[in-house]
Amino acid sequence: MKNFFVKCMAVAVMLFLACGTQIQAQNLLKGLKEKAQKAVKETVSGNNGSSNSSSPVPGTSNKTAPAGKGKTFYVSATTGSARADGLTPATAMKDLQKAIDAAEENDVIYVAEGNYLGNMDRGYIECGKFGNAQNDRGKFISFYGGYAPDFSERDVVKYVTKIQPTSQKFIAPLFNINARRPYGYTGPMGTVVIDGFVFDLGENNLYCAPNVDDERTGTPNTGVLTGRFIEPDGAPAVPKVGYANGDEYGLHMDVEGNVRVANCIFVNCRDYGISAMMGKGHMEICNNIFIACRYAACQVRGSTKDSEIDQVSLEFHHNTVLFTWTRTKAFEDMGQGFRFMNGIRTIDVHNNIFGCNSNCGVERVYYESNASIEKQKISNLYDNYFFANKRDLEIAAAGAASISVPAARIEEAEQIGPKYEGNKDLPDSETAFINAIDQPYLQGYMNLKVISSQSYNPNSAANQVNRIFGMNQTGSEIVRPNMYCNKYPWEKAKDLFGKVAGYGAQIPQ
């Protein structure tokens, strides 16, 4: 799809630091933008935009959930009771956190539609204390959202189960899950499932109030919901909307065993969609939508000793990953869709869609400190679609900070393999997918520009004092992007399920 979604970010982000230079991606890409706007207005041929043509994804189920070996708890925000036992649909609990606290190993929790914010609406949920899996090992529990209030039906798109805080202030992931065995344990592996949830920080994040006439707000057009995201140390002198600007994950896991994250939406997460530590076992992340997350959409590190790395594997497939933003508004670092990390022997990344990621769709820059372990690593990247990323794949290289690899040349990247075939640009024919993206947000990204300016006043009080003491002179720099991590409408994220048959998130079957 490079013939109408050019790598606009490659120019817009690489050159903007020059003093007084204005980088205008829309001027450089005027003809390409016109093609893009034309494409999104075209009548979709074939399935007319219907999502029913999507292929089912093995291992996902929208209608039923497998029974666990333990008890089953039912949670419903609308029909549940604070004092119920949760063991039947008629006696459903109201509080998901209470169900977690009551559950034991191998139990299953079914969660009906609604917004779940933990005990007394504190804003987050935990199965084990965040950052303390060594002492609080949590439990192996399976969570299935997307149920009707009476549990008569399961449809994760129709019955939205979300974790969406508003004015709460907290320093924790939206959902933290610990599931670890004691050191030396030799019994069967446990199972953790997170299936059918929406993780949204968009109502909690701090943004500039939208104002297309004030460039300080980073509002690309009148259709985008907010101005730019305000970083933790930022305090622009403009009206603001939202509440908090700390660094919190969407879903954080410190786990081992058999782990699956499926049919979820991660949107507006200000510090990773998924960040996880994985011990011995296999993790599958499939059929999810990651959109407008900051830092990275998905990052999983291995967490075991070197002699056990061969027992750690990860599969990331049939996910849609869009608009991952860098750490700062200066576009200095981060902004990856998926990251190949250390401590995992085999990683398979396939049948995903990576688009409009401000640094790269996929990153493979980390090397194991033990050369023999690095040599045995399997980093498969195959059968994926890419479009409008600054880089499709970023790899490290001696003598260079990194190398940008377009989809068509991924087979040349020796760090990838043994499977590397089938990586392509998103075909021009996939207009149903482009139409499903929020159009003001997409157009804002395609028109991205960043203005950087510097100033120096030798007569400022600070510089006069610095000269007296022989200290360096100081100046100031202003960096103003017209768009940066603005809020994406979470309801529209659901529209991206099933728009490209066989690639990206499919309609769960």
> What would the DSSP string read from start to end of 339-385?
E--SS-SEEEEES-EEES-SSEEEEE----SSHHHHHH-EEEEES-E
Percent of the chain at pLDDT > 90 equals 74
Q: Is the pLDDT of residue 61 over 70?
A: no
**Burial track 29-46 (b if 16+ CB lie within 10 A, e otherwise):** beebbeebeebbeeebee
Strands 175-179, 191-195: pairing is unpaired
Instruction: Report yes or no: 315 and 282 within 8 Å, Cβ to Cβ.
Output: yes
- The mean-pLDDT minimum among 209-218, 426-435, 454-463 falls in 454-463
Q: Looking at the predicted structure, is the pLDDT value of residue 503 above 80?
A: yes
pLDDT given for residue 6 in this prediction: 41
Question: DSSP labels for 281-333?
Answer: EEEEEES-EEES-BSEEEEEEE-S-GGGGGGEEEEEES-EEE--B-SSTT--S
Higher-pLDDT residue of 34 and 437 is 437
383 closest CA partner among 426, 345, 414: 426
Cα gap 68→70, rounded to integer Å: 5
pLDDT of the residue at 40? 32
**Which pLDDT does position 16 carry in this prediction?**
37
Q: Per residue in 405-427, pLDDT tens?
A: 999 999 999 999 999 999 999 99
Residue for token pair 């998103």: 426
User: How many other CB atoms are there within 10 angstroms of residue 418's CB atom?
Assistant: 9
CA distance 232 to 205: 10
pLDDT, one tens digit per residue, over 213-250 is 999 999 999 999 999 999 998 999 999 999 987 788 99
CA angle 449, 489, 443 (to 5 degrees): 30
Q: Which two tokens stand for residue 231?
A: 């970083």
> Does residue 23 have a pLDDT over 50?
no
287 exposed, middle or buried (CB, 10 Å; 0-12, 13-18, 19+)? buried
Supply the pLDDT for residue 170. Answer: 84
pLDDT recorded at residue 2: 44
Instruction: Kindly state the average pLDDT of the residues 294-316.
Output: 97
